[in-house]
Amino acid sequence: MSATATRLDDAVRPTPPVAVPAAKPVVEARHGEEHRYLIAFAVVLAALMQVIDSSIVNVALPDMMGNLGASLDEIAWVTTGYILASVIVIPLTGWLGQLFGRKRYFVGSIVLFTAASFFCGAAHTLGMLIFWRIIQGIGGGALMTVSQAVLFEAFPPEEAGMAMALFGVGVMVGPTIGPTLGGWLTDNYGWPWIFYVNIPVGILAAVMIAAYVHDRPDQRRPGRIDYIGIALLTVSVGALQYVLEHGQREDWFDSHLITSLTVTGIVGGAALLWRELTTKEPVIDFRVLRHRQMWVGTLLGVVMGIGLYAMSFTLPVFLQGNLHMTAEQAGIALLPGALATAISMFIVGRLTNRVDPRILITIGALIFAMAAWQLSLITGESGSGDFFWPLIFRGIGLGLMFVPLTTITLAELSSSELAQGTGLYNFFRQLGGSFGIAGIATLLSRYTAQYHAVLAEHITSIDATSAGRLKSLTQGMMAQGADAWTARGRAYRLMEAQVLGQASVIAYSRVYVLSAVIILAIIPLLVLVRKTRGAGGGHAVME
């Protein structure tokens, strides 16, 4: 009997070191917080404030230009300065949380963001407004990333999907609320109020997080500060983000500045990667990408960011530019899709522990692609009702993709790696979105010029339809009191505007088809994702 037991013992002895250690620390580290739903409310408030602020400013830029006496290029730095500062801070959030203590850093970032919001509203010169927007971006860069890490840790593994659903509601609904709220505040109270509105929200979020969020017991402060890594990050990411923001406006590589900054960004990025992989205490721990779910999820996040931001960026522009809606009307037209996203995320949050996340993501990608195809059928005569069902389907598809993708990406990370993991995931997804917006803006411009040239070829004096249209417009202008020469000139300009508008509609249609193709590219990449028991389901990998 003892011999048999000995042989069995010898047979199984090598097994535990292979199977147990990787998963055990992660499961033990996450048991859920007692006040997790209050924590969820607080961190979603913080994330929502940051997301809304990213879009609310755009609708007020014309009023700022008039009030501050700024040109379009000058006022653009109100947006660019904020984006540059926040994108640089995002990958640093994990390290900064260790340096100051995550709770202290989180509350401090909210306070900084809120205080900067007040000074932005009180600014009387363009220089002061840009300065405080940069400070606001430094505070805002932490809000979304740290919120995600805190929320993921506050909930037990089996409720991770619900945690990410709550977070996703704020992240995805915010861009829809932003333009509507911004338009209403600007029209009724003036542009400073788009900043003042952050103050009560920020105070409430800071108080609740200070009361309910706690640091991990094993939190360790870094021994030294990697100044070289911080410098390389600032230079490379700052240069690359500027290229993506201003490349289209400056004709891309026809500009020496854009070319130089592109080289700086690529070389600086390579140096940053080498530095952070070889130093003992990096400010950005790229080593978390050694986890298969982490690097695959990040790759999928980049692809989704490109496809998603391409549509999110173009829809409000199309509604306001081509269909001549106000910012408030465009926000109302987009609202049903945002509500569909919220409902979808809540449902999916409960499904992620029961259904293979790859199935949910696949279904979401197919629904999202179908919605993009429906949007490609829009015309210059479309009304807000024509966008209702496409945006509903888009919202459902987005919820099906966002929640499981986020949870499987973070599933294999230990508690000590979670902050760095969320920082890198959000950074690369944001970078993917920046690439998407830059690429789509370029394509829209080129497609519009291309189709304008094709349509204009048919507007000739020997074309009967064109001649009849010109004659009808000229007679209409003369009926309004214009002389024959003036009326004909106005008719030509009106026809040119109509041709340009039609070319623009065709360009948007092609962009939405492209968005569908990009999102569908996620599906074959899912073969790289390990089969799991459901995101967050104990983090157990079941190959």
Tell me whether residue 183 is exposed, middle or buried, using C-beta atoms within 10 angstroms of its C-beta: 0 to 12, 13 to 18, 19 or more.
buried
Report the alpha-carbon distance of residue 344 to residue 527 in Å, rounded.
Answer: 24
What DSSP assignment string belongs to 347-413?
HHHHHTTTS-HHHHHHHHHHHHHHHHHHHTT--TT--GGGGHHHHHHHHHHHHHHHHHHHHHHHTT-
Q: Is 532 helix (H, G, I), strand (E, B) or coil?
A: strand
Structure token digits, residue 319: 């509604």
- Angle, helices 61-68 vs 126-154, to 10°: value is 150
Burial per residue of 454-484, b for 16 or more beta-carbon CB atoms within 10 angstroms, e otherwise: eeeeebeeeeeeeeebbeebbeebbeeebee
Region of 157 (left: φ > 0; alpha: ψ -120 to 50; beta: rest) is alpha
For tokens 């593994």, what's the residue?
Answer: 157
Gap between the Cα atoms of 455 and 159, Å rounded: 55
Query: 3-class DSSP state for residue 166?
Result: helix
First-to-last C-alpha distance (Å) of the chain: 35
> Which residue, 141, 100, 93, is CA-closest to 419?
93
Nearest C-alpha neighbor of 478 from the set 490, 461, 468, 467: 490
3-state secondary structure of 215: coil
d(CA 235, CA 269): 9
- Written as tens digits, the pLDDT of the chain (543 aa) is 444 444 434 444 444 444 444 444 443 444 556 677 888 888 888 888 887 877 777 777 777 877 787 776 677 778 778 888 888 888 888 888 888 888 888 899 999 999 999 999 888 888 899 899 999 989 988 887 787 778 777 777 767 667 777 777 767 666 667 777 777 887 788 888 989 989 999 999 999 988 888 777 666 677 678 888 889 988 988 888 888 877 877 778 888 888 999 999 999 989 998 988 888 888 888 888 888 888 888 888 888 888 877 677 778 778 877 888 876 777 778 778 878 887 888 788 777 778 888 899 999 999 999 999 998 888 878 877 788 899 899 889 988 888 888 878 887 877 778 778 888 888 888 788 777 777 887 888 888 888 888 877 766 656 666 666 666 767 677 777 777 777 767 777 777 777 788 888 888 889 899 989 999 999 998 888 876 544 333 333 322
d(CA 218, CA 27) in angstroms, rounded, equals: 15
Cβ neighbours, 10 Å, residue 144: 26
CA distance 243 to 251: 11
Residue 6 makes CB contacts below 8 A (sequence gap 6+) with none
Q: What is the dihedral of CA 135, 305, 266, 53, to 10 degrees?
A: -10
CA distances from 443 to 138, 314, 506, 510 (A): 31, 11, 12, 9
